[in-house]
Structure 1
């Protein structure tokens, strides 16, 4: 355990709870205990009191504004519908005359979304129709409803169920008690039934009291997707990939929380919240971004869930037997803020992802080292321990890139300091790691120890940098240091201050090879309601914490990213890992699935969890290999490494009370299996790096559900035990104890799939049984693709800089294949100024061609092409001739395996950045 002698009893009980295990659900609210969720769920469908006043329409170049009225209380709202680029829409609804400004989410979007001309095409007494290119929106007046069409297909209906709700700000009426002899004054009648709710103006949870000075303020809306079977996204939850029907359970909750030893298969809130949902069916895909940073609940109903599965529901509908599949519905409700919904009309998954990324941003190309293997535990004891772990990787010939330090490296849990006994020479420790191409990540959390003389606390106190409580004083909570203050990153001055702390002068002992882990940034407050900050705390600008809660972690990592960027004068790419996240966090940090457990079900859950996060725009996701809590047996240990090698972020991590967890601590066989898995990761680093570059330029997820690449294939819609990387690799990790075989679904009726180990055709379409001996990771390359690899074993990715490449070609049924490779220096932003090389490869059976994908790139490297492997070739060519600018024309050597239909071309030796052609005779 961390040192707890100075922490009060209630904090010790929480800390001990971490070690004992089992989430205590009583620490966290249910929908019934959250008054606005309870009110919203009590609404009846089809009784919407809202109507548009079509005589108030104001047309702008790219938007339409209309008055919206609640006919029960005559409260007016302003509705604004904006035409976005790529033929999508944005809907904004706010009070027309609020007594106080309502919060509109900041920081999340990647600049102001680009707009285009909105054209009014039809007006009637009941509706108005507007067009955005081929798409259109029909706004119905009474009852209020908006139908959005993707071409001629109805993609999304808003308020089709009549569950739109907007609780306006109001003054609480306090009627004084009559003086003796006076008659009592009759209280005014409430303008609606909201005020009578016991939680409208104040709410208690356990010992915590939340006073709501502006009363009830929830906003909610239902979205119907008539052609969709399933909904996906709205992370983070430890649940299935396809969102479940919540009719008999709590809704999915979005409220960033520190949940110790979280349970699987439930909709409880976890560390991050991205209110982005994708609805998909064979007829098309649509998406909704509900841009609200307050506590949010999401109900899912209808779709294929009602009939039990996708196939039966569609068959019944087409044949006329049974009940037609009800439309898929998603109902969002947030405690405060405004309605701000981005509506993405597809029509396919790639369109939704691309357009969402254009609005919210992408993950910038990370430094190459961050795609390697990371070794972490809470905590490596001292400098000798770090030195010993580093040496262990060399001894066992296992590559790695980063070693991590948890909070015990600090002096008394004070960030930007070092324990002078355990880490007396941090600069030397860093430099010794750097000599072998390694890096270090250290943890820096947002809670600040309230200790006199500690420079961060003194600065924060004297300058007013802390979040305030409802009385205007510095808010004091409890976290690992004991009494803690929480920096208010909503204040730009505080963000600049925080960024300055990462300079090499202000954080002695660090180097440019030191990177940062931002943990506990939900924010975690051990003695707070639901182990977080009270909602009536106040941030810069006068915003209550209830308005901005889910943004706190984003503002934290924004500030850290800025600090690391300034530390190198903008030259080097930062690496940050965050636990809390929101829309836009992907622009600054990677993420992991939090404090999981060393159990097979948690290994299995890491796949749908990262898939959901990836679909929501954060591609750089992983899970603690081996499980954070408890101790895995050797089988779970090596199977987790095998799975983790194919997640975007690969880190081994463990709790302070677990047994040591380095890759070599088990028997020799286990060590060799782990080593093999890590080496596979490093062989594919050029491929991983290319995928991240493709994400940066195109916005598509790196790790994808099978249905994403095969949107018409119904059998893929609920698959969550396998996934694809890009469009090339299919992975089915082994996630069951004692498994000797697994059932793998191979999508694509005409696609061929090649075993990545055996280098031969394995299967076509359908479900196949795959034998999985201990060393087997079921990974398959899709026919028609070319992937780049580096095959030489090094101690770190940096040492592979000049190593040669291998191109692995998998032919499709027509004998064709294409692929790409992206190269730059792996660490700087020089690639944004032309210091890169982008190559495209084409194979058609008679020739293989390398062409520059972008002729503006001019990166120079010593790397060359070492071999080309062609899988699925029918017969050996008699001659293979290379033509290139540097080597001229020369005949190449090759070997051919007729049984495996495998051709290996040895040492073309052409510089990797050149354009060339190979002719097969």
Structure 2
């Protein structure tokens, strides 16, 4: 290498290193606040009642209600060209979903078409459309003219109020409102404009300037939730589950909740600041009515205020009297109004309604639901082999070993550093022989190196995002000077998917899966560490219009690549840091670069719960914290909690001390091993819950109020959570805790998972805390499937027998489910699975088939049996049991057995009944 080139490379490396150090931790000045964001500042300055629009020319067109929104003082004419009216469309769908679209009239010559986010709404949603035949009219109290009313669903109507313009859903009969838009008259829509001579539209923040070629184009409006005690949702923020007011007298936050995907190192907890993902979906819940939801399909930067009580005291706006109402204010830099109202009325109804729009979550492979071991970085093949063997030596199961960016050849993705990883295929095969898998990282920044085939081909084909001048965008990230594939373009997504073939990704094998990081996208020298807003994408779309969805398209293309690689046979596993509505269809997400602090352990729970509520059930937080060195107690508590995250992965920064589970002394190794064993024991239950999420959208881990929607004590509780409907987990979030307060909802009892000890529901219990475990309970009336034999990995447990743990309620009844398939392929979509419901009632335990009759095209069978049935809460211990299988009766003896996870109360146990999970059978307790 020439000396001049060597010196230049050294200079660039030092420059990148210094910049990295400067952004390594949270620096508020790196990021804009609302006052530094012109569209947010303008919108917040608007006063209630300032919207002067009226709904006119209301008709039915193509099965929808359509109207024009015109200023109140405008004299209508034949063309309206001089005022460019907005076009409004109301569409109704099955199951209580109302869609509202508002856009400029393209026939009236705006400079370009405003961006509508593609590929988020699933194609089958259009099949749910209700084709309207007529509109009813009604004069709302105090109005000078009629409003339009349409039937939405059983018990609900949608109302388009003409003057003043407003859209809301109400209950039939009572007329009580559920959710409304523009009730406070804050709606504003800035039209695209051709730049006039002398106009200054540029915006600057720090050293970056945004050219804004189409001028201000923001949209804002108020949304009100009625009969609501709290609102939730709009991830991703490191704050409480119940969203706090951001505006109004005496509020804690002065900034709105920001939705703008950003690479935020060491994000702070308890803040409305946006981090890696954005889902503009909010859920309200209240005791008197239930749940409703609102989703705005818009990928531009968004700011959302939750209004505190009394915020509108001086507005003069008069709204119908309601017991409770929560007002919110939504602001976006660009896009259109494409909003969805969900009427509920239950929490699971709202989630299902939202999923009908954005799609059901993907069904993961079985191995992905187990424990993952990650670090930035495992150094070489010897390090990988050593870590792998140490797990076996210490009898700790794991399923996936991860490699971060240092495994590549100079941060060129799809490559290997052949000095450190000379035999990647053999390395993967050794792991696969134990039923284990590997994950490697693939980020969107492509090193600008003419000898790098990915860059060479992307440049030749013109596949990169362009800068405002039309050249390939050049930004800095881990690989230095980098460009970014334009994932909005379907052709480029297809090309990217092909990069994962065994031909192109040399050294990969079928047991290798993928991690997408830095896909917000992260640009170290960009404004707010991301891509400039005036960068250009496919179809002349500005980056400002799709920013929050860039990582979503990258995630989508990567997942499709793994499906292509396997010729459509196997399910992909792809973890993504950036997220958007619809990400659930493509894989898992995590909460990003957290810290080894008790507060970050604490905030991980509401973050994961919020992701689940908004459609992403497969999520988790880095166990132990990414930054910093956790004390052993914190690390152990994090493992004990993380064992119940849907996505269970330990991860750490390369500057931290090594923290594999065996490095903290024998006792801590034992505690971490026990926590990981809990997860492996419960994998059948978790896998069944993932199937429930796949078919209904209901999250794997849930807020307490999702299962107990009328109990006010659960509404703001985000220190505890439900795993499915059967297990309640309470984290320990302080050092040297001796006592924990645990609220157990409902009227039935709860049973300690380890000891079987019974506790009353509907009250708070002060419990002594030990280092052995965190409080976790099984709900009376449920049945949980387990596997109690410990193997090296979940793959090696496939044929192991099951244990059923039955927690009886006061009626001596219980029920639960078990879902089993081949754990990897798409054959389950064709009926190749076992799905059983277990029901214990009147002294009989019955296994009922929930799977549809097989079409013969695809079958799944299993010889796996149930080896143990454990009864908790039996009021009179049975002496024997009769098992009926194909008309044969067998006597089974009963006796006490300690629960497998620890010593505690004796329980009634049926040993070795020998019944297959695939069969119908009945056990009668005598």
Extract unaligned runs of 5+ from structure 1: 176-194, 308-322
What secondary structure sits across from 2:822 in the alignment? coil
1:271–1:594 Cα contact (<8 Å) kept = yes
Query: How far has the Cα of 1:146 moved from its partner?
Result: 1.6
Distance 1:866 1:437, change over 3 A: same
Calculate the TM-score normalised by the size of structure 1: 0.93
Q: Partner of 1:180 in structure 2?
A: none
Q: Which of 776, 791, 794 is the equivalent residue of 2:791? A: 794
Q: Partner of 2:130 in structure 1?
A: 116
What secondary structure sits across from 2:129 in the alignment? coil
Distance 2:580 2:820 in 1: 30
Q: Partner of 1:184 in structure 2?
A: none
1:245–1:305 Cα contact (<8 Å) kept = no
Q: Partner of 1:312 in structure 2?
A: none
Distance 1:78 1:11 in 2: 48
Distance 2:706 2:312 in 1: 22
The residue correspondences of 1:4-23 to structure 2 (distance < 5 A) are 5=10, 7=12, 11-17=16-22, 21=25, 23=26
Query: How far has the Cα of 1:4 moved from its partner?
Result: 9.6
2:191–2:216 Cα contact (<8 Å) kept = yes
What secondary structure sits across from 1:269 in the alignment? coil
Q: Partner of 1:89 in structure 2?
A: 98
Number of aligned residue pairs: 875
Q: Partner of 2:883 in structure 1?
A: 882
Q: Partner of 2:507 in structure 1?
A: 509
Extract unaligned runs of 5+ from structure 2: 1-7, 75-82, 140-144, 248-252, 314-320, 899-903
Distance 1:420 1:270 in 2: 35
Distance 1:851 1:117 in 2: 39
1:872–1:901 Cα contact (<8 Å) kept = no
Q: Which of 161, 169, 180 is the equivalent residue of 2:184? A: 161
Query: How far has the Cα of 1:697 moved from its partner?
Result: 1.0
Q: Provide Cα deviations, 1:64-92, integer angstroms capped at 9, x if missing partner.
A: 00000134784410000000111220000
Q: Partner of 1:869 in structure 2?
A: 870
The residue correspondences of 1:892-907 to structure 2 (distance < 5 A) are 892-896=892-896, 900=905, 902-907=907-912
* Residue 149 (structure 1) aligned with residue 170 (structure 2): yes
Q: Which of 823, 829, 832 is the equivalent residue of 1:832? A: 829
Query: How far has the Cα of 1:325 moved from its partner?
Result: 6.5
* Residue 48 (structure 1) aligned with residue 51 (structure 2): yes
Q: Provide Cα deviations, 1:441-489, integer angstroms capped at 9, x if missing partner.
A: 0000000000121001100111101000011100000000100000111
Distance 1:855 1:272 in 2: 37
2:227–2:322 Cα contact (<8 Å) kept = no
The residue correspondences of 1:303-702 to structure 2 (distance < 5 A) are 327-702=325-700
Q: Which of 280, 283, 291 is the equivalent residue of 1:285? A: 291
1:398–1:675 Cα contact (<8 Å) kept = yes
Q: Partner of 2:228 in structure 1?
A: 228
* Residue 744 (structure 1) aligned with residue 742 (structure 2): yes
Q: Partner of 1:219 in structure 2?
A: 219
What secondary structure sits across from 1:598 in the alignment? coil
* Residue 32 (structure 1) aligned with residue 30 (structure 2): no
Q: Provide Cα deviations, 1:746-791, integer angstroms capped at 9, x if missing partner.
A: 111x121111000231332211012110002211111110010000
Query: How far has the Cα of 1:61 moved from its partner?
Result: 5.4
Distance 1:648 1:5, change over 3 A: farther
Distance 2:310 2:871 in 1: 42
Query: How far has the Cα of 1:711 moved from its partner?
Result: 1.2
Distance 1:746 1:62 in 2: 48
Distance 2:513 2:668 in 1: 30
**Which has the larger displacement, 58-67 or 346-355?**
58-67
Distance 1:883 1:398 in 2: 38
1:252–1:267 Cα contact (<8 Å) kept = yes
Distance 1:896 1:710 in 2: 33
What secondary structure sits across from 1:541 in the alignment? helix
* Residue 129 (structure 1) aligned with residue 134 (structure 2): no
Q: Partner of 2:839 in structure 1?
A: 842
What secondary structure sits across from 2:117 in the alignment? coil
* Residue 818 (structure 1) aligned with residue 815 (structure 2): yes
Distance 2:223 2:15 in 1: 43
Q: Provide Cα deviations, 1:38-76, integer angstroms capped at 9, x if missing partner.
A: 0000000122211111xx122035310000013478441
What secondary structure sits across from 1:625 in the alignment? coil
Distance 1:292 1:513 in 2: 36
What secondary structure sits across from 1:908 in the alignment? strand
Distance 2:804 2:426 in 1: 39
Distance 1:339 1:795, change over 3 A: same
**Which has the larger displacement, 103-112 or 432-441?**
103-112
Distance 2:423 2:15 in 1: 36
2:229–2:324 Cα contact (<8 Å) kept = no
Calculate the TM-score normalised by the size of structure 2: 0.92
Q: Partner of 1:70 in structure 2?
A: 71
Distance 2:229 2:649 in 1: 35
What secondary structure sits across from 1:81 in the alignment? strand
Q: Partner of 2:317 in structure 1?
A: none
Query: How far has the Cα of 1:295 moved from its partner?
Result: 0.4
Distance 1:17 1:888 in 2: 74
Q: Partner of 1:187 in structure 2?
A: none
Q: Provide Cα deviations, 1:644-695, integer angstroms capped at 9, x if missing partner.
A: 0001000000000100011111010000000000000000000000000011
Distance 2:411 2:819 in 1: 41
What secondary structure sits across from 2:536 in the alignment? coil
1:165–1:219 Cα contact (<8 Å) kept = yes
Query: How far has the Cα of 1:847 moved from its partner?
Result: 0.6
Distance 1:25 1:427 in 2: 44
Q: Provide Cα deviations, 1:148-178, integer angstroms capped at 9, x if missing partner.
A: 1144431012101111110011122215xxx
Q: Partner of 2:80 in structure 1?
A: none
1:304–1:325 Cα contact (<8 Å) kept = no
Query: How far has the Cα of 1:121 moved from its partner?
Result: 2.4
Q: Provide Cα deviations, 1:849-891, integer angstroms capped at 9, x if missing partner.
A: 0111124254212311100011000111232100012x82101
Distance 1:816 1:4 in 2: 71
Query: How far has the Cα of 1:138 moved from its partner?
Result: 1.7
1:360–1:583 Cα contact (<8 Å) kept = yes
Distance 1:358 1:138 in 2: 22
RMSD: 1.9
What secondary structure sits across from 1:86 in the alignment? coil
2:246–2:308 Cα contact (<8 Å) kept = no
2:239–2:603 Cα contact (<8 Å) kept = yes
**Which has the larger displacement, 287-296 or 898-907?**
898-907
Distance 1:556 1:147, change over 3 A: same
Q: Partner of 1:767 in structure 2?
A: 764
2:117–2:298 Cα contact (<8 Å) kept = yes
Q: Which of 264, 268, 273 is the equivalent residue of 2:269? A: 264
Distance 1:12 1:72, change over 3 A: farther
Query: How far has the Cα of 1:350 moved from its partner?
Result: 1.0
Query: How far has the Cα of 1:903 moved from its partner?
Result: 1.2
Q: Partner of 2:78 in structure 1?
A: none
Distance 1:8 1:428, change over 3 A: closer
